[in-house]
A and B are shown apart, each in its own frame.
Chain A
Amino acid sequence: MVDKVTKTAAEALDGLLFDGMTIMAGGFGLCGIPENLIAAIREHGVKDLTVVSNNCGIDGFGLGILLESGQIRKMISSYVGENKLFEKLYLSGELELEFNPQGTLAERIRAGGAGIPAFFTRTGVGTLVAEGKEVREFDGELYVMERGLTADLSIVKAHTGDAEGNLVFRKTARNFNPMMATAGRKTVVEVEQLVAIGALDKDNIHTPGIFVDRIFKGAVFEKRIERVTTRQKESV
Chain B
Amino acid sequence: MAWTRDEVAARAALELQDGFYVNLGIGIPTLVANYIPEGVNVTLQSENGMLGMGPFPYEGEEDADLINAGKQTITELDSSSYFSSADSFAMIRGGHIALSILGGMQVSEAGDLANWMVPGKMVKGMGGAMDLVAGVKRVVVVMDHCEKSGAPKLLRQCSLPLTGAGVVDLLITELGVFEINRGKSPVRLIELAPGVTVDEVREKTEAAFTVAV
Chain B residues whose C-beta falls within 8 Å of the C-beta of A7 in the assembled complex? none
B93 within 8 A of A: yes
Which residue on chain B has the smallest CB distance to residue A221?
B64
Q: State A29–B128 Cα separation when bound (angstroms).
A: 13
Q: State A32–B65 Cα separation when bound (angstroms).
A: 7
Q: State A86–B122 Cα separation when bound (angstroms).
A: 11
A223 within 8 A of B: yes
CB of B126 within 8 A of CB of A99, answer yes
Chain A residues whose C-beta falls within 8 Å of the C-beta of B57 in the assembled complex? 230-231
Q: State A96–B89 Cα separation when bound (angstroms).
A: 26
Chain B residues whose C-beta falls within 8 Å of the C-beta of A99 in the assembled complex? 125-126
Which residue on chain B has the smallest CB distance to residue A143?
B134
Chain A residues whose C-beta falls within 8 Å of the C-beta of B66 in the assembled complex? 171-172
Question: Can you report 12 A-B residue pairs in the complex whose CB atoms are below 8 A from each other?
Answer: A28-B71, A78-B128, A90-B123, A99-B126, A101-B126, A106-B86, A127-B130, A171-B76, A175-B84, A177-B84, A226-B67, A226-B71
Which residue on chain A has the smallest CB distance to residue B162?
A127
A102 within 8 A of B: yes
CB of A31 within 8 A of CB of B85, answer no
- Other A-B pairs beyond A31-B65, A80-B124, A110-B86, 7, CB < 8 Å: A30-B71, A122-B135, A127-B163, A159-B65, A179-B84, A230-B61, A231-B56
A91 within 8 A of B: yes
Q: State A228–B50 Cα separation when bound (angstroms).
A: 18
Q: State A5–B65 Cα separation when bound (angstroms).
A: 24
Chain B residues whose C-beta falls within 8 Å of the C-beta of A172 in the assembled complex? 46, 48-50, 65-68, 82
Chain A residues whose C-beta falls within 8 Å of the C-beta of B89 in the assembled complex? 102-103, 106-107
CB of B124 within 8 A of CB of A81, answer yes
CB of B84 within 8 A of CB of A106, answer yes
- Residue interface bits B105-125, CB-to-A below 8 A is 1, else 0: 000000010000000100111
Which residues of chain A (20-42) have a CB below 8 Å from chain B?
28-32
Please pick, from B112, B127, B164, the residue contacting A102 in the complex, using a CB distance under 8 A: B127
Chain A residues whose C-beta falls within 8 Å of the C-beta of B61 in the assembled complex? 230
Count class of interface residues, chain B: 35 or more
What is the minimal beta-carbon distance from A58 to any residue of chain B, in angstroms? 10
Give 6 closest A-B pairs by Cβ, nearest first.
A103-B89, A126-B165, A103-B131, A81-B124, A223-B64, A101-B130
Which residues of chain A (106-151) have a CB below 8 Å from chain B?
106-107, 109-110, 121-129
Please pick, from A79, A122, A128, A129, the residue contacting B124 in the complex, using a CB distance under 8 A: A79
* A interface residues with partner B (beta carbon < 8 Å): 28-32, 54, 77-82, 86-87, 90-91, 97, 99, 101-104, 106-107, 109-110, 121-129, 159, 169-179, 206, 223-233
Please pick, from B56, B93, B125, the residue contacting A123 in the complex, using a CB distance under 8 A: B93
What is the minimal beta-carbon distance from A166 to any residue of chain B, in angstroms? 16
Chain A residues whose C-beta falls within 8 Å of the C-beta of B70 in the assembled complex? 227
Also in contact, A230 and B73, with CB within 8 A (given A122-B93, A223-B65): yes
What is the minimal beta-carbon distance from B99 to any residue of chain A, in angstroms? 17
Q: Is the interface of B mostly helix, strand, loop or mixed?
A: loop
CB of B73 within 8 A of CB of A229, answer yes
Also in contact, A224 and B64, with CB within 8 A (given A97-B123, A128-B161, A174-B84): yes
CB of A227 within 8 A of CB of B71, answer yes
What is the minimal beta-carbon distance from B161 to any residue of chain A, in angstroms? 5
CB of A176 within 8 A of CB of B84, answer yes
CB of A229 within 8 A of CB of B56, answer yes
B72 within 8 A of A: yes
Also in contact, A230 and B58, with CB within 8 A (given A29-B71, A126-B164, A171-B82): yes
Chain A residues whose C-beta falls within 8 Å of the C-beta of B126 in the assembled complex? 78-79, 99, 101-102, 129
B15 within 8 A of A: no
CB of B84 within 8 A of CB of A31, answer no
CB of A174 within 8 A of CB of B92, answer no
Q: State A171–B48 Cα separation when bound (angstroms).
A: 10
Chain B residues whose C-beta falls within 8 Å of the C-beta of A227 in the assembled complex? 67, 70-73
CB of A174 within 8 A of CB of B49, answer yes
Which residue on chain A has the smallest CB distance to residue B74?
A229
Chain B residues whose C-beta falls within 8 Å of the C-beta of A82 in the assembled complex? 71
